[in-house]
Amino acid sequence: MTDHPVARLQSRGTRRWLKGHAALVYLFLYGPIAMLAVLSFNDSGLPTSWGGFSFRWYGELLRNPAILHSVANSLVVAFFVTLIATAGGTLLALGLEQGRPSTALDSFVMVPMIIPDIVLAIALLSFYTTLQFTLGLYSIVLSQSVFVMAFAAAVVRTRLRNFDRSILEASVDLGADGWTTFWRVTLPAILPGVIAAALLSFTLSIDDFVIAYFSAGAGRSSTTFPMQIYAMIRFGVTPTINAIATILVLVSVTLMLTAQRLAREAQP
C-alpha cells in the first residue's frame, strides 16, 4: 500500500486529525439513515424503546392501498421519464462533447440542474395553466424530464470524455458512414454510460417530490410515492415511514452503485 505523496508530507498529527474528521463526517451522513433502518424493525415503532425485532411495519406497508397506489404511479412516471431523459440526455451529451467546448452552452445545460426546484415547479405550473392543460401523471413526466435529462447528459458526458475519439476516425477511415459508425462504434462504446444515465434518471424521478407535487394537479389519482410520504410526514411521526425509508434506501443505493460501476467500468 503506497501512501499518496501529499499524505507523506503531512505530519502524523495533521493526518490523524483529517482522518478523525472524515470519520465524523461519514457518521453524520450515515447515522440518521442507519437509525431509521434499525427502527423499521422495532416492534414498538418508537425511537425511544426497543419492543423486539419484527416485520410488522413492512406488513402494514403492504396492506396500505394508498401507498401501493402511489408506488404504482411513481413507477409509471419513472418509466417514461427514464425513456425521455436517457434519449435526450445522450443526444445532448454527444452534441456537447463534439466540437469546441463552450462555457456558455455548458452553463445553460447546468440551469435545469441548479435551478431551485420550487422555481421550476411553479414556472411549469404557470405554463400548464396558461395553456389550460389538464394536469395528471403525464404532466409530471413532462416536467421531470427537463431536469432529469440534464443529469443524464452529465453522466453520459463523463463516459464520452474517457473514450478515445480516434476510434471514430478509424471507423470512418475504414469506410463506415456516420450512421454506421454511430451504431457500430460510438453507441457500444458509451453504452455503459447510457445505462448508468437510465438508472440515475429512474432514481431521480422516483425521488422527486417538489416538481411532481406542483405538476400533479388536484385529486388523489395522480399522487406519487414521495407525495404520499410527504403527507405522512406532515401528519406526524409514523413508524411505517421507517420501513419505507429502508426499502427506498436499499433500492436507490443498489441502482446508484450499479450506475457508478457502469459509468466507470472498462475505462482505458
Partner 1 sequence: MTALIAIRELAKSFGPVPALADVSLDIRENEFFALLGPSGCGKTTLLRILAGFEMPDRGSVTLDGKDLVAIPANRRPVNMMFQSYALFPHMTVAGNVSYGLEMEGVKGPELARRVRDALAMVQLEPVAGRKPHLLSGGQRQRVALARALVKRPRLLLLDEPLAALDKKLREQMRIELKRIQHDTGITFLVVTHDQEEALVMADRIALMDRGAVAQLGSPRELYDRPATRFVAGFIGMSNVLEGRATAGGVAVAGLGALPATGEGIAPGAPVSLTIRPERVRLVAGGGGQVAGKITGIAYLGQDLLLQIGLPGRADPLVARLASGHPLADGLREGMAVSCDWAAADARMLTE
Partner 2 sequence: MTVRAGTIPVAAPADPRARERLLLLAGPLGWIALFLVVPCLLIGIYSLFERGTYGGIEWNFTFENFRRAADPLYFGILIKSLWIAGLATAIALLVGYPAAFLIATSPERWQKLLLVLAVLPFWTNYLIRSYAWIVILNREGAINNLLRGLGLTSEPLPLLYNEFAIVLGLVYAYLPFMILPLYAAISRLGADLIEASTDLGADGWRSFRRIILPLTLPGIAAGSIFVFVYSLGNFITPDLLGGGRTVMVGNLIYDQFLTARDWPFGAALAFILIGIMMGLLTLQAFLINRARRIGTYD
Site for partner 1 in 3-62 (CB under 8 A): 5, 8-9
Q: Which is nearer to partner 1, 6 or 266 (CB)?
A: 6
Q: Which is nearer to partner 2, 82 or 171 (CB)?
A: 171
Round to whole Å and give the CA distance between 77 and 85.
12
Q: Give least dist CB 1 to partner 1, A.
A: 7
Q: Which residue bears the cell 483529517?
A: 18
Round to whole Å and give the CA distance between 238 and 248.
16
Tell whether residue 67 is a contact of partner 2 (CB under 8 A). Answer: no
Round to whole Å and give the CA distance between 177 and 152.
27
Q: Which segment (56-64, 65-73, 75-83, 106-114) binds partner 2 by CB under 8 A?
A: 106-114
Q: Give least dist CB 2 to partner 1, A.
A: 6
Which candidate, 241, 248, 258, 250, places its Cα nearest to that of 206? 248
Tell whether residue 127 is a contact of partner 2 (CB under 8 A). Answer: yes
Q: Which segment (56-64, 65-73, 75-83, 108-116) binds partner 2 by CB under 8 A?
A: 108-116
CB atoms within 10 A of CB 211: 23
Q: Which is nearer to partner 1, 3 or 169 (CB)?
A: 3
Return the SS3 of 176. coil
Tell whether residue 2 is a contact of partner 1 (CB under 8 A). Answer: yes
Round to whole Å and give the CA distance between 242 and 226.
14
Tell whether residue 103 is a contact of partner 1 (CB under 8 A). Answer: no
